[in-house]
Chain A
Amino acid sequence: MAASRGRTVGSLIWRCGSCCDNGNIVSSSLSSQVKVFSRQVSLSAAVHRKNLAAAGPEKFSEEFIKKQVEEFNIGKRHLANMMGEDVENFTQEDIDRSIAYLFPSSLFDKKARPLMKHPDEIFPRQRAVQWGADRRPFHFLFYTGKQSYYNLMHDTFARVLAAEKQQDRLRARSLLPEPSKKSSLGGSRWLFKEELEELLVETISDYDYQRFLQLVMRLQERGSSGEEDFLLSLRRRLEVQSSRQEVPPLQVDEQGHSYSTAEGRRKSATGSVVLTDRGSGDVIINGSLCHHYFTVLQDREQLMFPLVFTGVLGRFNVRCSVAGGGHSSQAGALRLALSRALLSFLSQGQVENMRQAGLLTPDPRVRERKKPGQEGARRKFTWNKR
């Protein structure tokens, strides 16, 4: 038990050290390595494995991956046992939570922290060996170099031709259906180039991607109902951004006026705002009036902007408290807090407008650290010739 647990932990750490980003590095690692991989399909496994192991950098053979998967599953059960939770229904979220608890890390880069994920998510997808024992390739498009891509293009084109033929037949019989809105394809977008590469497990050029898009849009225009599943597989859902906003709850105070509270941060300043409805447009910050606290006009304008944008200038009473940072960052923090507090009084459309205006986005800029050998973050020391 102890040995297996040690092995699990060891494999965890090994995996953390050698894990690579699933997205971009796939194509580069694939392009840098030889196209041939060491996963064997044929029967004389032992002989060929030795040969191919010598050919390229051996890391991810199929057996290896299977072993990793087994270890992962066992490790998952051990982890659930350790945490005292239900072994059978231990989800990936539970795993993440447990790992964060057992190996607390304060590293800023989330990808550098310890992680335990299914091997399919960590190791990049690879292609099997494309030819058989007689060294003849399986696929007829192998010698194009990008067999999956051209395969997809041929497939799509065949569908386009079929759809056009269908439309001609219908037009001949005057049974052409009304062009209806493609509602099933709304709310989604075409695959990006990186996603397409991931799907095909091979690299394509920008020109290839453009041709792919043109062909797929041509198929979409034909408007044939049978192709929708195929097209949907090549699209990704767009998340509705505004539905992800957290709207602070609306509370009611003793006099019956509704109010809401929200917080905001900018650089090192934090502010919190209490917006009371049916007020007279007063603004009080840390106990003093707005124009006494913020002497500079720009800060007052920053505070005014959310109210002017939503058109509620004289309606609310604003009580703010702010600490930290300088006057500009305090104004920015209060503006964000004010926008968030306003959300509970607004309709969905106005929330979307505010999001697009950038009022609900926290400003990520912080002070860049000073580097050694330089005078500041970017400024170098004066260059002397001698």
Chain B
Amino acid sequence: MALQRLSFRLRQTVTHARSLHGSGCGHQLEALAGEPEPQHEPLQVFRTQENDPACHSENHLGQYYTLPPDHPRTLFPHGLPPRFQLQTKTFTEGCVMVRQPALEVISHLRRADYSKPALRYVFYGVKGSGKTMSLCHAVHYCASQGWLVLHIPDAHRWVKNCKELLPSTYNSSRFDQPIQASNWLRNFRITNEHFLSKMTTRQRYVWTKRESTEEGRPLAELVDQGVTRVKSSSDVVGALMKELKLQTADPELQGLRVAVAVDGINALWGRTTLKKEDKSPVAAEELTLVHNLRKLVKNDWCGGAIITTLAQTGSLYTPSSAYLPYELLGEEGFNTMEPFVPVPVSDYSEKEFESCYLYYLNRNWLQHPHSRTEEGKKELIFLSNRNPSLLDRLCAFL
């Protein structure tokens, strides 16, 4: 009680103090006690200084932590949602909110037994509720723990809008997507450079009559092969995935953990918009990338985790009101993914909304004078119904 009264007085004396909901007070107290002196800068209850995802806990729920400036470029070259990238550029800082679903997955990751087969986590929720951001938070945690991260930003990009479809060299019934595969390999290399130079191949791969990768060569060479020789890039991706699965099973590399992060996993079992030359539709199975990814996502390997999200936004031929795993994955996908840990991601709670609102105010993003009043806040709540993406789009023109 005394601490509550003290912090309340502190809040009142500071210039930029805002009125908070009563429900948020309990959680804010511990964070307030850990804040630096409020005399130097205005008290920012929506921020936390704890930038390491490993140390995030229930105390930091609803608060923003800052991504170090080089992380978006190295860790997430392709992983962050485009709107968030724009926001990072505008605000000159990347701030991610600590939310319950991500914390749940991180706590599971901390306590999981990695000698058992990999656990699968699926973020699901309505459109715009923050699934991709939660995924990025979890991936940041994995990267900070020194894991190897295989991040596929949007699996839907592999099943639609492909200009070139080559018949695969390895298996003639399948199709290759050279551009997508080489792009992905390039980004993968940026993320995991330090791993690739240490790990070596276990097998010999023959790409064409003249080119092959011998056993024992570093994986970096394999990836370079895929980036430079675009034609065989899809097969390189497949080979890479196989290698990683083998290496996690290797008893010598006990410390190696692999995180497979896939955004929009329901693309793997959905329909595609690609067509063969005789205008017949291509099934998802017939794409090399999809085929290999399905093998990776199957939980027959240990020493890692598979974190995925469902996405309705880019999905094809699904109703826009569908968001549950069974609806989006389909029967086949659901049976393949079983068993998995479903993690629901909902819209902002009152405290989280408060935090987001304060953040926008702090960044001077809400220019309209009415939006700074109580009625303006109520209007924002009504119009966006506390949905994160709706709120973001709404505030963009205020």
Interface residues of A (CB under 8 A from B): 281, 283, 288-292, 297, 300-301, 304, 307-308, 311, 313-314
Contacts and interface: CB of A to CB of B under 8 A. Distances in A.
Contacts of B381: 281, 314
A290 B385 contact: yes
Nearest to A304: B382
A342 B378 CA distance: 18
Contacts of A311: 375
A297 B382 contact: no
B375 A297 contact: no
Contact of A297 (B126, B321, B378, B394): B394
Given A281-B381, A283-B382, 19 more contacts: A281-B378, A283-B385, A290-B382, A290-B385, A291-B384, A291-B385, A291-B390, A300-B382, A300-B383, A301-B383, A304-B379, A304-B383, A307-B382, A308-B375, A311-B375, A313-B375, A313-B379, A313-B382, A314-B378
A307 B382 CA distance: 10
A250 to B, nearest CB: 24
Tell me what chain A mostly uses at the interface: helix, strand, loop, or mixed: helix
A291 B379 CA distance: 13
Nearest to A311: B375
Contacts of A289: 385
A288 B394 contact: no
Contacts of B247: none
B306 to A, nearest CB: 30
Contacts of B387: 291
Contacts of B375: 308, 311, 313
A313 B394 contact: no
Interface string B361-398: 00000000000000100110111110100100010000
B301 to A, nearest CB: 39
A193 to B, nearest CB: 45
Interface residues of B, number: 13
A42 B254 CA distance: 129
A240 to B, nearest CB: 30
Contact of B321 (A283, A288, A313): A288
A283 B381 CA distance: 12
A307 B378 CA distance: 11
Nearest to B384: A291
Contacts of A301: 383
Q: Which 10 A-B pairs have the closest CB atoms?
A: A313-B378, A291-B385, A300-B383, A304-B382, A314-B378, A291-B390, A290-B385, A289-B385, A291-B387, A313-B382
Contacts of B321: 288, 292
A300 B382 CA distance: 8
Interface in B230-274: none
Contacts of A314: 378, 381
A289 B346 CA distance: 14
B165 to A, nearest CB: 34
7 contacts: A283-B382, A288-B321, A289-B385, A292-B126, A297-B394, A313-B375, A313-B378
A283 to B, nearest CB: 8
Nearest to A301: B383
A22 to B, nearest CB: 50
Contacts of B384: 291
A234 B387 CA distance: 62
A281 B383 contact: no
Nearest to B385: A291
Contacts of B390: 291
A301 B382 CA distance: 9
Contacts of A307: 382
B379 A297 contact: no
Contacts of A308: 375, 379
